[in-house]
Each structure stands twice: as C-alpha cells, then as structure tokens.
Amino acid sequence: MRVFACLPALAIAAVIWWLSSTPDLAVASGAVDTVLRKTAHVGVFAALAVACVVALRANGIRPARAILGGAALALAYAAVDEAHQSTVPTRNGAASDVAIDALGVGLASLILVRRARRAVPC
C-alpha cells in the first residue's frame, strides 16, 4: 500500500474533523455565514473525494472503481462528520449538510469521470 498517497485525504479529513469540533464556528454573520459555510462544505468534500480517488489510483485501483470508491469514502466520512458534530456543544449534525457534502462529492466525481473518459483512446 502506498501510504504517502493517502496523506492528502487524511489531512483533509483531519481539517474537517477539527472544524467540526469547534464550538460556535462562524466565518461571518447572518446569511453570509450560512452561504460561506455551505459553499465550503461543497468544496472541501469535493477535495476529499478527489484526494480519495488519487489514493486509490496510486494503490492500483482502476479509474472507474477508484472514482466510485472515492465518492463512497467521502460520503461515508460526511455522515461520520455530522454524527461527530452532533456531539459538539453549540453544534448540531444535519442530514441536509450531508446532502450538501454529497453535492461536492458528486460534482468532483462527474469531473473525474469526464476526465477519465477523455483519457481512454477511441
């Protein structure tokens, strides 16, 4: 197993965990805070999915399976993250956040599928 290829995914997961552990996390106020945080959910889970795919590919998994596996890992982590967040004072876990995370994972997966199809000779 190529452990170094897994480090980016683990680093992203660690940052997500740290942010989820922070009580009263806010980056702005009001609606701006909500928009920024939800946009961050999309972006960070897209990055996690890509990092998982890179790790799987580096360990010999074929592109289609790596994309599916990377998406599954990122979505599973989204659910675990929300469960963890529900244990943090002043925070709550929400299924809607998992859905927003899934949007990021889905977008990243679609981009990776399109790139993989272009790489295959006709």
Convert 82-102 into a string of H (helix), E (strand) and C (coil).
HHHHCCCCCCCCCHHHHHHHH
| The two structure tokens encoding residue 106 | 């889905």
Q: What letter does residue 28 receive in the DSSP assignment? A: S
pLDDT category of residue 122 using cuts at 50, 70 and 90: low
Mean pLDDT, range 58-86, rounded to an integer: 97
Range of the domain at 18: 3-119
Angle at 107 between CA 104 and CA 109, to 5 degrees: 105
Least confident of 10-14, 24-28, 34-38: 24-28
Per-residue pLDDT tens digits for 87-104: 999 888 899 999 999 999
Q: What is the spatial distance between Cα 51 and Cα 95, in angstroms, rounded to a whole number?
A: 23
Q: Mean pLDDT, the chain, as a whole number?
A: 93
Give the total number of structural domains in the chain: 1
Q: Are 91 and 85 in contact (CB under 8 A)?
A: yes
Least confident of 6-10, 58-62, 115-119: 115-119
